[in-house]
Amino acid sequence: MLARWSLLLVVVPCAACRDPAPQRAATVTPAPAPTPTASIDATPMRRAIALPDFMAEGLAWDAPRERLLLGGIVAQSIAAVARDGSVTRFAATPQGWSVFGVGIDATRGWVWAACSAVPQGRALPATVGAAGLFAFSLDDGALVHARTTASDDDDPHLFGDLAIAPDGRVFTTDSIGGGLYAASAGEAALRELAPPRSFRSAQGLVVLDGDALLVADYSRGLVRVALGSADTDATLQPMPTPADADLRGIDGMARRGRDVVAVLNGAEMPQVLQLRLTEGHDAVESVQILLEPSPDDGEPTLVTIVGNEAWVTQTDRWNRVFGPDARPRADVTIAAPVVVRARLQ
């Protein structure tokens, strides 16, 4: 399986972000976003997190405890960052899988993590290519639920991001397999909402309402997924966007009301966009550039919304950290992740 995964890394650059990453389709170079309709935040708040050898990807704000949770690809764990910047290890994946997207279910007191068995982790997993959704207690980091791909599934998967509905359903994209999956506390297994190869390179996603999702297909643009009864018979349609907006190249997304914050990377100048949806959440009404993160801080990846701010993770570059075998390079010190914050327009 490892040899097969390594081949995939050569032909399908990755999504968790950066330069070559396992979820990215490299066939299309994202075009710049349209000119903003409001001024860019030229002085965003920035903080480097003291997490060496971590390679952060997902982030989520635990409001009651006033801490930021970060998922680690190389570290294969979740870290908690307090207001004062102090860092503690919060939870580790039981299989030693890498942590990509994370999201908080405050109602139930859990943090869900999209985890994948990839060779980029510090410890090589026993079975490369599996993936799953894990829920951990926000109180003590104990594992509460695990919903993983089947043990007899030989196809490689990479769950790179997730979104949580108010009723507790969790949705995740498979950036390599091209499918869409769901899980919940009341179900013993993952459910397939869209079959493999439905997406070319599925990245971030948000819940639009009770029966629809918005998914970023990296080299194609945004896709609206209408969910049928019991989340079955999903219908995929391109999301209507303004004629001058090219929304290819989106990695992470987060939503607040009619606004969706989208991280565009892979292009020469990465951008964080603020998309305004129509009242029915069935089209993108306008696009503006919220932030242009400094390339010196690495590749921007995933995003969460805290109050009236967008918080974006910037992490070390994929092709600098990992070698041709997809393993962490022994002679490279992984740069500390940076979280940059910009006020929504």
Q: Which residues pair with 84 in a beta bridge?
A: none
Note the pLDDT of residue 43.
Answer: 54
Identify the pLDDT of residue 44: 64
State whether residue 315 is helix, strand or coil.
strand
Q: Which parts of the chain sit beneath pLDDT 70? A: 1-44, 230-232
Check residue 223 and give its pLDDT. Answer: 98
Q: What does the pLDDT read at residue 10? A: 27
Cβ within 8 Å of residue 294, ≥6 positions away: none
Amino acid letter for position 170: V
Domain boundaries, the chain: 2-343
Fold of 2-343: Neuraminidase (2.120.10)
What pLDDT shows up at residue 230? Answer: 66
Measure Cα distances from 153 to 98, 105, 221, 233, 263 in Å.
19, 29, 29, 22, 31
Pairwise CA distance, residues 216 & 262, whole Å: 9
Q: What confidence score (pLDDT) does residue 26 get?
A: 34
